[in-house]
Amino acid sequence: MPTTTRHGVRPLGSADLEAFLALAERDPVVNVFAIYRARTTSLEPRWLGGEVWGRFANGELVAACHVGANLVPIQATADDARAFAERALTRSRSVSTIVGPHDAVRVFWDSVADSWGSPRECRWEQPHLVIDTPPLVEADHRVRRTTRQDLPELYPACVAMYTEEVGVSPEAGGGADLYRARVSQLTSRGWSFARFDEGRVVFKAEVACATEDAAQVQGVWVPPDRRGEGLATAGMAAVVDFVQHEIAPVVSLYVNEWNTPARRAYEAVGFRETMRFSTVMF
């Protein structure tokens, strides 16, 4: 029988932070987003912009689920995912994305699909890639950290990448100010990297979240007319160098299964697949 929310699922708060971190740090690379969010918010709902649910067994936290703009299962078995789905069905859908390890996302989605409506897209087999060694190829030394002065050129490139990747502009529905603030925030943190040729972005990538153990890269992009030149391979080697020396020793990302050029570039740099992620987008 499916586990119900009566069997140990409740929202977590700041008093649960230590237990949550102990759970998530069982896999500090896969769970880097959850760990980063927990440390920056102390699991306080007003800072989370949502909740983190925990599932307990015999008083011990055994699984969790981040429920904000992104719903992310953490160390969740199939039984845990069904329990979180049952809780999710007690409220209307507020998340725009379900993302995380394939098995947990698949079970969660199968449990809520009839009630949550048709997603815009499902990406079921996204390789989750990791590199914890130096890059295997020479880095592009023209890749550098971006600055606020780069925003007039960088921001349109970020919009183009997001629109191509997600299928919807981040500026849709009045989201331009929020997205611009996000791009600026990553630049201010030193988490945004790009190569500029004659003032134009020809490669870019960002660190989305990081801990002392791992950093997750997102937003890797080369303009369509410059693809096939090796910019992504050498550019990612530069990003890995920056991250490993200055942010965290392990770099991770996940990529769409069908994106063969990107997967070849990451493989050339030295990334290896460790598991599959899935993403359901609304």
Question: Of 117, 134, 165, at which residue does a domain stop?
Answer: 117
Task: Note the pLDDT tens digit of each residue in 32-52.
Answer: 999 999 999 999 988 998 999
Residues 6+ apart with CB under 8 A from 57: 8
What does the DSSP 8-state code read for residue 57? E
Share of the chain above pLDDT 70, in %: 98
| Residue at 2 is within a domain | no
Give the residue numbers spanning the domain of 177.
144-274
Token pair for 232: 């992504």
d(CA 146, CA 32): 23
With tokens 């600055």, the residue in question is 147
Same domain, 89 and 156: no
124 in a domain, yes or no?
Answer: no
Which DSSP state fits 224?
Answer: G
Residue 3 has pLDDT above 60, yes or no: no
Neighbours of 229 (CB within 10 A): 12
Q: What are phi and psi of 12, to 5 degrees?
A: -95, 155
Here the CATH number for the domain that contains residue 66 is: 3.40.630
Q: What percent of the chain has pLDDT over 90?
A: 93
Residues 159 and 257 in one domain: yes
Whether residue 1 lies inside any domain: the answer is: no
Whether residue 108 is found in the same domain as residue 158: no
The answer to the question of residue 27 being in a domain is yes
Please state the three-class secondary structure of 147-184 as a single string: CHHHHHHHHHHHHHHHHHHHCCCCCHHHCHHHHHHHHH
Question: What count of Cα atoms within 13 Å lies in the side-chain half-sphere of residue 82?
Answer: 8
Which residue among 117, 152, 182 closes a domain? 117
Q: Which of 165, 126, 131 is nearest to 239 (CA)?
A: 131
Mean pLDDT of 235-260: 97
| CB 38, CB 25: distance < 8 Å | no
Token pair listed for 25: 């740090």
Do 160 and 255 lie in one domain? The reply is yes
Confidence band of 20 (pLDDT split at 50, 70, 90)? very high
* 180: in domain: yes
Q: What is the pLDDT of residues 190-204, one digit of tens each?
A: 999 999 999 999 999
The letter for the amino acid at 56 is: F
Is residue 38 assigned to a domain? Answer: yes
Q: Which two tokens stand for residue 264?
A: 């070849």
Please check whether residues 88 and 204 belong to one and the same domain: no
Say how far apart CA 62 and CA 218 lie, in whole Å: 29
- Listed in sequence order, the DSSP H helices in 59-143 are 78-88, 102-116
The total number of structural domains in the chain stands at 2
Q: Decide which of 66, 99, 117 is a domain's last residue.
A: 117
Per-residue confidence band for 8, with pLDDT thresholds at 50, 70 and 90: confident
Same domain? For 108 and 180 the reply is no
Please compute the mean of the pLDDT values over residues 132-145 and round it to a whole number: 98
CA angle 194, 218, 271 (to 5 degrees): 95
For residue 74, what is the enclosing H or E element? strand 70-74
Which pLDDT band, with edges at 50, 70 and 90, does 132 fall under?
very high
CB neighbours of 70 closer than 8 A, spacing ≥ 6? 33, 95, 96, 97, 98, 99
Q: Is 73 exposed, middle or buried (0-12, 13-18, 19+ CB in 10 A)?
A: buried
pLDDT category, 141, cuts 50, 70, 90? very high
Residue 123 lies in a domain: no
Q: Could you give the CA distance from residue 259 to residue 39 in angstroms, rounded to a whole number?
A: 33
For the domain that residue 244 is a member of, what is the CATH number? 3.40.630.30
The residue type at 71: L
In a domain, 137, yes or no: no
